[in-house]
């Protein structure tokens, strides 16, 4: 097991950031930790890395307690912090080189690994430049290079794609997959459902300091298998329509959204004809009904009653 956390509690004053959390992650995964802002993802990572003190709990990384067996294990971990952590006054090369040294690399081997890491994130041609002049995406990539230069077994990437352009994001996502193919386990906290869905082999959904569900994408989607969602496409739906639709007892939920009206019904219980009749009665022109595939967003919404992004 790469990570094993049991009954972890972390409080900030009155607020419980991690609430009796348990989580285990196996080798070889790209493990997504999906949760909205403030769910406690970063706090969990910081606790595991010993950067913050915890109230109680048991934590093992790569089969060892970090507290007592710190350094041997630390060499095997690469951390990509959520907040950029780079020296603005050292060049890209020097940044990576320094961290290579801190992880014990030396001489020719260090040089090769540094070049390799920079190559890997696509910054080889910018290695002599200072990050001050880098774009957000380039800084993020440098942030990653510094964490993987020592070829760790486990890489923790805390929201590595925040605030960057789609192209850099795709590049980063691809590189995460490549790293994983090389046998590196990746822990990937994120609040981007699309990213987690695209690259993660296993996912835990986190909310208010707890893991509320975990499994593969498919397993998670089955959690909401009892429900289906559809969007009724009509122009400017009003409260009258909503009230009328709510009268249909098969519909579990009716919400007016930007596109139209979002409807939720029990699986196999689609009251299509009655919906169409009500739309007609209320004087709306029905433009279509989009049945939504279940996605992690829906899973999250169903499990917590909240959306991932506010």
**3 state SS of 3:** strand
Give least dist CB 251 to other proteins, A.
46
Check binding of 88 to other proteins (CB under 8 A): yes
Give least dist CB 51 to ligand ATP, A.
11
| Tokens read off for 79 | 């951390």
For β-strands 202-207 and 288-292, DSSP reports them as unpaired
From 41-49, 136-144, 268-276, 300-308, span contacting ligand ATP (CB under 6 A): 41-49
- Rounded to 5 degrees, what angle do the CA atoms 251, 252, 255 make? 85
Question: Cα–Cα distances in Å, from 58 out to 5, 66, 214?
Answer: 6, 10, 20
Give least dist CB 37 to Mg ion, A.
8
Return the exposure string of 216-243: e unless at least 16 CB atoms fall within 10 Å of the residue's CB, then b.
Answer: ebeebbebbeebbbbbbebeebeeebee
Check binding of 191 to ligand ATP (CB under 6 A): yes
Q: Which does 301 bind (CB under 5 to 8 A by kind): other proteins, Mg ion, ligand ATP, none?
A: none
Check binding of 247 to other proteins (CB under 8 A): no
Give least dist CB 120 to ligand ATP, A.
25
Binds ligand ATP by CB under 6 A, chosen from 23, 42, 47, 199: 42
Nearer to ligand ATP, 161 or 264 (CB): 161
Binds ligand ATP by CB under 6 A, chosen from 3, 21, 40, 308: 40
Binds ligand ATP by CB under 6 A, chosen from 1, 11, 26, 37: 37
Q: Which does 40 bind (CB under 5 to 8 A by kind): other proteins, Mg ion, ligand ATP, none?
A: ligand ATP
Contacting ligand ATP within 118-147 (CB under 6 A): none
Residue 21: enclosing H or E segment and its boundaries?
Answer: strand 15-25
Long-range contacts of residues 263-272, Cβ cutoff 8 Å, at least 24 apart: 263/229, 263/230, 263/231, 263/232, 264/227, 264/228, 264/229, 265/227, 265/228, 265/230, 266/226, 266/227, 266/228, 267/225, 267/226, 267/227, 267/228, 270/228, 270/230
Question: What single DSSP character describes residue 294?
Answer: P
Check binding of 301 to other proteins (CB under 8 A): no
Contacting ligand ATP within 57-116 (CB under 6 A): 82
Contact (CB, 8 A) for 179 and 186: yes
| Residues binding other proteins: number (CB under 8 A) | 29
From 23-31, 76-84, 234-242, 280-288, span contacting Mg ion (CB under 5 A): 76-84
Residue 44: enclosing H or E segment and its boundaries?
Answer: helix 41-48
Q: Which does 89 bind (CB under 5 to 8 A by kind): ligand ATP, other proteins, Mg ion, none?
A: other proteins
Binds other proteins by CB under 8 A, chosen from 4, 69, 101, 262: 101
Pairwise CA distance, residues 132 & 165, whole Å: 18
Pairwise CA distance, residues 111 & 132, whole Å: 23
Contact (CB, 8 A) for 186 and 30: yes
Check binding of 9 to other proteins (CB under 8 A): no
Q: Which residues bind other proteins (CB under 8 A)?
A: 46, 49-53, 70-71, 74-75, 77, 79, 81, 83-90, 94, 98-99, 101-104, 146
Residues that bind ligand ATP (CB under 6 A): 12, 15, 17, 35, 37-43, 82, 159, 191
């Amino acid at each position: 097991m790469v990570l094993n956390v049991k009954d972890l509690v972390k409080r900030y004053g009155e607020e419980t950031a991690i609430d009796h959390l348990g989580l285990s992650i196996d080798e070889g995964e790209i493990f997504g930790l999906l949760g909205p802002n403030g769910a406690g993802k970063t706090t969990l990572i910081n606790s595991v890395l010993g950067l913050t003190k915890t109230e109680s709990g048991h934590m093992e990384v790569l089969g060892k307690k970090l507290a007592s067996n710190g350094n041997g294990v630390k060499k095997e971990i690469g951390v990509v912090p959520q907040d950029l952590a780079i020296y603005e006054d050292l060049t890209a090369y020097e940044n990576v080189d320094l961290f290579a040294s801190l992880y014990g690399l030396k001489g020719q081997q260090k040089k090769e690994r540094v070049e390799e890491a920079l190559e890997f994130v696509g910054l080889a041609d910018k290695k002599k430049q200072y990050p001050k002049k880098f774009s957000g995406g380039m800084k993020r990539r440098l942030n990653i290079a510094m964490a993987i230069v020592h070829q760790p077994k486990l890489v923790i990437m805390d929201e590595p794609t925040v605030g960057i352009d789609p192209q850099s994001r795709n590049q980063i996502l691809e590189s995460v997959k490549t790293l994983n193919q090389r046998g590196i386990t990746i822990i990937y906290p994120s609040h981007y459902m699309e990213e987690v869905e695209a690259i993660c082999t296993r996912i835990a959904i986190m909310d208010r300091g707890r893991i509320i569900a975990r499994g593969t994408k498919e397993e998670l989607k089955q959690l909401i298998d009892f429900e289906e969602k559809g969007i009724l496409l009509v122009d400017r739906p009003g409260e009258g329509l909503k009230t009328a639709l709510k009268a249909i007892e098969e519909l579990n939920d009716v919400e007016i959204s930007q596109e139209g009206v979002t409807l939720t019904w029990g699986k196999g219980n689609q009251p299509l004809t009655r919906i169409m009749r009500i739309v007609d009665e209320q004087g709306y022109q029905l433009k279509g009904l989009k049945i939504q595939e279940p996605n992690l967003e829906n899973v999250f919404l169903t499990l917590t009653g909240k959306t991932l992004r506010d």
